[in-house]
Amino acid sequence: MPVAPTAPPTLPLDAEGILALAARSMFHLFSSISQGMFLVDSGGRIVWVNEGYRRFLPALGFSSIDQFLGHMVEDVIPNTQMRRVLETGEPILVDLLTNKAGTFVVSRLPLRQEREGGAGEVIGAIGIVLFDQPETTLQPLISKFALLQRDLDDARRELASQRNNPLYQHAPDGQRRSKYTFASFIGSSPAAVEVKRHARRAAQSASPVLLLGETGTGKELLAHAIHASSARAKGQFVSVNIAAVPDTLLEAEFFGFAPGAFTGADRKGREGKFKLADGGSLFLDEIGDMPLGLQAKLLRALQEGEIEPLGSNKLVPFDARVIAATSRDLPELVRRGLFREDLYYRLNVLPLRVPPLRERRSDIPALVEALGEDMALRSGEAPPELTPDALALLAGQHWRGNIRELRNVLEQVTMRSDSQRIDSAQLERILREAGLEQIELPATLQSAHDADEEAALLRPLAQQVAELERKAIAAALASTGGNKLATSRLLGISRATLYERMTSQEQPT
């Protein structure tokens, strides 16, 4: 006799039946997929434990389930928050629980009496162990949060250091402060390290500094850094871009003017930049563009340490350290009679040549990262990520505009790209449209390092010998713990010669 087919299971037709079925299914599901589960009654006594949770009992100090059931939950599970769930009726969906059994990711849910019109009073609670050993099972998530926490801690420390550093504090009465330090000059190539070394030594002197280099190389940034590292760091840093001020206003801008000095002048008069920089540093950007007629007055101010405001008969003393910069060839301007020779010698006491970007190609990846982060902070978007071939393409360019031009290219390609990741094809299109001069593309970034090494060798031999000697003495001193006699024997020179070499290295160059 044929067997009648079994009817397929069907859902209950009433809503209450469906809810009851769903509740039973969810209960069995959580019991089977979780690492462990238990129930407590309204008084907090443990009334049920599933098979998964029983494996934690020995670590909690119980040899049998009978020793565990019937006890108050806080007496048998240290650090539990089940009592809080019973008292408040609020669930704790995800939490970390640590006790002698280990560390667990847990969830705690209240159980309520069924009542028409809504949930009734709390009659118990469920404790669910979602994950045990989260340090391994949740390693990717924990690592991500740990990284975010480290970034947050770093940001807090940076903000704290800035609040305690007068360099970053808002000055009263709108006073001008340095915006950059030597750490802001990105780069570890030989050319970058050398210019920072000379700039740090220049910061310890009171003599004028002349920064020479192409446009966009970071001359103003170094001027800020020199002031910030000098004894005048608490004074004002006053900057004047000579090329940006009309010739007719330069004298008033430099030296100020007396009340009623000329038609339309402020009746109270105004102090000039020299007086504003009193006690601090005065940065004269694009000094090569200064009109010849004003150069004599500037020379006198630098020599005498006093100025005469426009329309005044009184001499006003000032004490400011002058840092000048130019992208022009001052010796050539002197030969052509466009720049006073005596002023040139007055400014050219501590000359610093800031290298162009093509002489420090190995710094381009670090510069791209720093510029990208700055762009991201300003725009609120993620910084661009350049592929290795894109970085190699950047390293192969001539960069007439140097870092300023590099930033412009990065901003263009970021704005015009639909992706955060930038490849060489996208960059090449931007470079071609910008009309940049493209040189031989390095096969790898090692070529950029080789170019830097070659550039470092194209210097006066005496300078290279002095640099090698300085490194040898520093290494020997480190090896001997600073013992001068042992250092001199290690280097094969007399102690007197060692002291002579060390003294000569400490002199500003």
pLDDT tens for the chain, 509 residues long, are 555 556 566 666 666 677 777 777 777 777 777 889 999 999 999 999 998 899 889 988 898 899 999 999 999 998 899 999 999 999 998 888 888 888 888 999 999 887 766 668 899 999 999 888 776 666 666 666 666 766 676 666 556 555 555 444 445 555 667 788 888 898 888 999 899 999 999 999 999 999 999 999 999 999 999 999 999 988 999 999 998 888 888 888 888 887 766 655 566 777 888 888 899 999 999 999 999 989 998 999 889 888 888 877 788 888 999 999 999 999 999 999 999 999 999 999 999 999 999 999 889 999 999 898 888 888 878 888 898 888 888 888 888 889 999 999 999 998 888 888 888 888 888 888 876 555 445 454 455 556 666 666 767 777 777 888 888 888 888 777 778 887 888 888 887 788 788 777 655 44
- Residue of 501, 507, 509, 508 whose CA lies nearest to 471: 501
Residue 102 confidence (pLDDT): 82
> Tens digit of pLDDT for each residue in 120-148?
889 999 999 988 877 666 666 666 666 67
Is the CB of residue 202 less than 8 Å from the CB of residue 222? no
Is the CB of residue 102 less than 8 Å from the CB of residue 59? yes
Helix axes 445-457, 190-203, angle to 10 degrees: 50
Residue 470: C-alpha distances to residues 216, 354, 467, 491, 498 (Å): 30, 21, 5, 12, 11
Q: What residues have CB less than 8 Å from 18, skipping those under 6 apart?
A: 11, 12
The arrangement of strands across the sheet holding 350-353 comes to: 237-241, 281-285, 321-326, 209-212, 350-353
- Residue of 113, 131, 134 whose CA lies nearest to 122: 113
Q: What residues have CB less than 8 Å from 428, skipping those under 6 apart?
A: 393
Give the helix, strand, coil percentages of the chain, each rounded to 5.
50, 15, 35
- Residue of 361, 454, 455 whose CA lies nearest to 399: 361
CA 351 to chain centre: 30
> Tens digit of pLDDT for each residue in 319-360?
999 999 999 999 999 999 999 999 999 999 999 999 999 999
Q: Outline where DSSP puts E strands in 133-233.
A: 209-212
CA 314 – CA 255 distance, rounded (Å): 12
Residue 325 confidence (pLDDT): 95
Six token digits for residue 212: 């020479």
Tokens 């390095």 -> residue: 442
Q: Outline where DSSP puts E strands in 82-233.
A: 92-99, 102-115, 118-132, 209-212
CA 318 to chain centre: 37
3-state secondary structure of 46: strand
CA 133 – CA 442 distance, rounded (Å): 49
Residue 440 confidence (pLDDT): 46
CA 480 – CA 151 distance, rounded (Å): 39
Residue 439 confidence (pLDDT): 46
